[in-house]
Amino acid sequence: MTAKHFAALPRALPFWVALGLVPVLVFAAARGGWALILPPVLAWGGFGLLDAAFGKDTGSPDPDTDPALLFWHRLITLIWFPIQLVLVFGMILYASEAGHLSAFEKIGLFFGVGVVTGTVGINFSHELMHRTSRLERWLADLLLAMVMYSHFRSEHLMVHHAKVGTPADAVTAHYGEGFGRFFPRVLWQCLRSAWRAEARRLEARGYSRFDSGNPFWRYWSLQGIYVLTALVLGGWAGLALFLYQGFIAVWQLELVNYVEHYGLTRAHLGDGRYEPVAPRHSWNAAQAASNRLLINLQRHSDHHVRPARPYPLLQHYLPREAPELPFGYPVMTIIAMWPPAWRRMMNWRVRKWRAMFYPEITDWQPHNRLNLPRPANQA
């Protein structure tokens, strides 16, 4: 490794802030009581305050940066799996023997575990699944299985990226749809669409959907191993806590999915075709602190336009190019849990977005979304 590579370390270190949640969670487990609120308070409210303090980061890195200079950025995603593995199952073992923690406190502790596995683990798995190496894709699968949501990889890569902003994408929240309706809908529809996507892929190659090449066999096997491990380490209570943290992690993931595309749709061009995915089809947030915690997930427009681009090279877009949220994702996901406040904050922004990018469309009722005219700038 050359001096040039070490010189890139300072630019990567802010993205390692996620590691700070680990000692916070360990302290909460040891202390119990009031300390159990620290993981969610710091992950959501703490980074909301840091966003207010540090403001926005509107700079864009050189997209042609030598990939070798991204070693330190990549390393944090590579080392996270063993950290999370020890954290989750260590906490199950610890909770099963911790006499100072009541049953209620153990539930609070594993809410915090789910905050970490959702905020960091699922987010890092999202970055890893978009990479081409077998190691990184395996790490993505190992992380997703730890929250019992393995099918997310198939659904995200094969369905969401292709269908975003269309009625065929379950993850694109409809205008006016509250999270309470979105969440149960997306849980079922994403599992179904992931299975169908893999089945179509195999059948197009002349194989049965139950062929060993279906990654669902790997998904189920990994999840089964984790379930048995939790049962051995903590008994039925340990298994319940393991499943609970997975639910909390998935709840956070789908809150973010809800925020990322709420009310944004692509125009239908006829014959089942839609306009190409553009920056205007994702909500962005330029808040500096939360972008470090979430490894630039909030630069979501560029991710959808260029899914293979590594997170440190994602570009910032101006508000005239892509819609921008008033706060970072940690604050926006909290607001999304209160539908009246969410609608007051977001519905007028969706209407403004429609007037800016699709002024010729006057009827946005659901029945008409399949027959939207092509926007003038796509003609």
Reduced to 3 states (helix: H, G, I; strand: E, B; else coil), residue 4 is helix
Q: Where do we find the tokens 């915690």?
A: 293
pLDDT surpasses 50 at 378: no
When pLDDT is averaged across residues 250-276 and rounded to a whole number, the result is 92
Q: How far apart are CA 246 and CA 110, in angstroms?
A: 9
351 is a domain residue: no
Q: How many residues does the chain have?
A: 379
Percent of the chain with pLDDT over 70: 95
- Does residue 360 belong to any structural domain of this protein? no
Q: What are phi and psi of 274, to 5 degrees?
A: -125, 155
> Based on the structure, what is the number of domains in the chain?
1
Question: Does residue 137 form part of some domain?
Answer: yes
Instruction: Give the pLDDT confidence of 178-226 residue by residue, as tens digits.
Output: 999 999 999 999 999 999 999 999 999 999 999 999 999 999 999 999 9
CA angle 296, 176, 150 (to 5 degrees): 45
pLDDT class of 377 with cuts at 50, 70, 90: very low
Cα–Cα distance list, 66 to 5, 70, 188, 303, 313 (Å): 10, 7, 41, 19, 10
- pLDDT of 365: 64
**Does residue 370 register a pLDDT over 60?**
no
Q: What is the pLDDT of residues 83-107, one digit of tens each?
A: 999 999 999 999 999 889 999 999 9
pLDDT of residue 1: 63
Smallest Cα–Cα separation from 274: which of 375, 157, 170? 375
Please give the share of the chain, as a percent, with pLDDT higher than 90: 86
| Domain around 216 | 3-346
Q: Angle 188-192-193 (CA atoms, 0-180°, nearest 5)?
A: 115
pLDDT digits (tens, 9 = 90+) for 12-58: 999 999 999 999 999 999 999 999 999 999 999 999 999 999 999 99
List beta partners, residue 324.
284
Question: What are the structure tokens assigned to 60, written together?
Answer: 């864009």
Per the domain annotation, does 121 fall within a domain? Answer: yes
Any domain includes 352: no
pLDDT at residue 9, rounded to an integer:
87
Say yes or no to pLDDT of 333 above 60: yes
pLDDT at 372: 46
Q: What value does the mean pLDDT of the chain take?
A: 92
CA torsion, ordered 51, 53, 55, 57, to nearest 10 deg: -70
pLDDT digits (tens, 9 = 90+) for 57-69: 999 999 999 888 8
Confidence of residue 367 (pLDDT cuts 50, 70, 90): very low
In a domain, 141, yes or no: yes
Residue 303: inside a domain, yes or no?
Answer: yes
Task: Establish if 224 belongs to a structural domain.
Answer: yes
pLDDT at 119 over 80: yes
